[in-house]
Amino acid sequence: MKVFASLLIGLWAAIAALPVLAQNGPLRIEITEGVVEPLPYAVPDFVAENAGAAQFAEELSRIIAEDLTGTGLFREVPKAAHISRVTSFSSPIQFADWKAINAQALITGAVRTESGGRLVVKFRVYDVFAGTELGKGLQFAGNVDGIRRMAHKVADAVYSRITGEGGYFDSRVVYVSESGPKNDRKKRLAIMDYDGANVKFLTGSEAIVLAPRFSPNGDRVLYTSYESGFPQIFVLDVGSVRSRVLRAGDGSMSFAPRFSPNGQTVIFSLTRGSNTDIYAMEVASGQMRRLTDGPGIDTAPSFSPRGDQIVFESDRSGSQQLYIMPATGGEARRISFGKGRYGTPVWSPRGDLIAFTKQAGGRFHIGVMRTDGSEERLLTASFLDEGPTWAPNGRVIMFTRETQGATGSASLYTVDISGRNLKRVRTPGGGSDPSWGPLQ
Amino acid sequence: MKQMTRAVLLCAALTAAACTNGNRFGSDSGFNDSGVGVDGINADPSSPVYFQQTVGDRVFFTVDQHVLTDEAKFVLSSQANWLLTNADYLAVVEGHADEQGTREYNLALGARRANAVMEYLIAQGVPRERLKFVSYGKERPVEVCSEEACYSKNRRAVTIISAGLGL
């Protein structure tokens, strides 16, 4: 943990003395493909329970609001409109005051500092119109430098209680940080919080690095580096920030790696002669198995969440298209039949969708389709969008968008799988090839 | 990597124009013994500078293709002659793609292009063990506009020579 500030968040602890209302009330967002009206909520500044905590009280509520409002599913009722002041975590809630400003959900919280630079954060969520608490009050502790994570955990709990789905705020993204002009681009691996905060570099910019991919539990990152002069796959241990080459070099190119859902197998592309095929390697033994065998370009493989199938792209039909084959290789069935070219498929965490890059009519799109190729929907369109990665809950996709022309540069964007809420991720400098890690 | 670094430095030491020169198919291209590069730089015919500027170090491809054009074959025949004459040099063929494609596919496409060049050189008699290829996909464009004028220069395979064991 040299690079990352160590962050010890205690186990989630239910506040025993609080009333428990486990069932979800009428306050509920059903996330559907249709347009939703964002749910209005209020999150007053957290109550500082001691003098040292004052500086954190506003920050917590601000980060929680950024998370929730950032989904496009929630709308914050500005603090200036609040009638009630929450001055004590245990005071009764004046529901009428929150109803009057049409805040349907209310999040209250408190923070105190403890010795050793620790923060203790607790919060409650209320269904204002039902006049009840939504779920249990929770508290947890962490180091001061983990304040953003604690806020993300609160926001995840609120999101999850109101939508009935898992959150994604307390997660990290590994990506390629980019700087410099287009014909001398410097690329470094970097890791950040999902919202672009806390960027840390994992490699230098001496060699080109491409397409990092998190392991399922976030402990390792696969990436491709030109360190040896030839693209080779490396495995980086996130804790120690040390990397090793996955496969001893024989001068052939290997790239496009991804882990299996159990983290024990890596699938990737290997180029021999003019032919690029997909292989699987057991990480522990180094044992390799060839999964595709044909003269076409077979690349960008991605496992199904159950690990029994692999989606990949191939130009065996004459142009880039998506195929699914058993995880052991064998006959592949084509799933993309629309106009244009399809690449970079990624299986959703829920298993129901494949995200992809589509090129058609001189434009690039991020899209999703069902695993049988039906119900294709394009979510974005631009000069160059590519390389989708799924949020842990399968509701949001992050991808690379590159702008046109001599001064073009790459940035990270997110979009909801409904196609709404397209946003740029606020990274310092350019970014490409994101890989969204698990909820921490 | 040492060999490649050397070659890259060599390229950097020349003018930018020399490294991205589009005029190499003009009257000065081909194998001649004038010892003068296209930019008037005096160069020994057995020097890397001569190879790069006079013989021509790169060939170009059409969209999504790795088939060698007649023009490309002409340049590559000259490259093969040079490599056969200057038997102490090794070469790495670098394949590139334009930005109009996804990253992984372009890596594989660049490999196809570089491999096509390498196999052509081998077919002309250059020993396989003196050659290697690598693809940079769309990672190393020489021209930066987002138009065909630039794309056509970026869809390339560049033969980078470096001194072998004998030198």
Contact present, A189 and A200 (Cβ < 8 Å): no
Cα→Cα distances A59→A46, A88, A123, A172, Å: 9, 17, 14, 20
Residue A251 has a pLDDT of: 80
Determine the average pLDDT of the residues in B62-70. Answer: 97
Per-residue confidence at A20, pLDDT binned at 50, 70, 90? Answer: very low
Q: How far is B34 from chain A (nearest CA, A)?
A: 33
Tokens (6 digits) for B19: 């490294």
B70-85 and B103-123 helices cross at what angle (nearest 10)?
60
Per-residue confidence at B2, pLDDT binned at 50, 70, 90? Answer: very low
Contact present, A162 and A22 (Cβ < 8 Å): no
The CATH number of residue B119's host domain is: 3.30.1330.60
ipTM (interface predicted TM): 0.91
Model confidence pLDDT, tens digit, residues A377-436: 999 999 999 999 999 999 999 999 999 999 999 999 999 999 999 999 999 999 999 999
Model confidence pLDDT, tens digit, residues A38-94: 999 999 999 999 999 999 999 999 999 999 999 999 999 999 999 999 999 999 999
Looking at the DSSP bridge assignments, the partners of residue A277 are: A270
Determine the average pLDDT of the residues in A267-276. Answer: 96
Contact present, A229 and A222 (Cβ < 8 Å): no
Per-residue confidence at A316, pLDDT binned at 50, 70, 90? Answer: very high
Determine the average pLDDT of the residues in A169-195. Answer: 97
Model confidence pLDDT, tens digit, residues A125-167: 999 999 999 999 999 999 999 999 999 999 999 999 999 999 9
Specify the length of chain A in residues.
440
Among B76, B114, B151, B63, which residue's Cα sits nearest to residue A253?
B114
Sequential DSSP letters for A323-341: EEEETT----EE---SSSE
A interface with B, Cβ–Cβ below 8 Å: 181-183, 185, 187, 208, 210-211, 226-231, 251, 253, 255-256, 269, 271, 273-274, 276, 297, 299-300, 313, 315, 320, 343-344, 357, 359, 383-384, 386-387, 402, 404-406, 408, 433
Model confidence pLDDT, tens digit, residues A324-342: 999 999 999 999 999 999 9
> Does B48 map to a domain?
no
> Does B21 map to a domain?
no
Per-residue confidence at A32, pLDDT binned at 50, 70, 90? Answer: low
Residue A27 has a pLDDT of: 76
Q: Is the pLDDT confidence value at B94 over 80?
A: yes
Q: Is the pLDDT confidence value at B86 over 90?
A: yes
Domain count, chain B: 1
User: What's the domain range around B124?
Assistant: 2-14+56-163
Contact present, A278 and A294 (Cβ < 8 Å): no
Q: Which residue segments constitute the domains of chain A, with CATH numbers given?
A: 13-163 (3.40.50.10070), 173-439 (2.120.10.30)
Per-residue confidence at B165, pLDDT binned at 50, 70, 90? Answer: low
> Does B39 map to a domain?
no
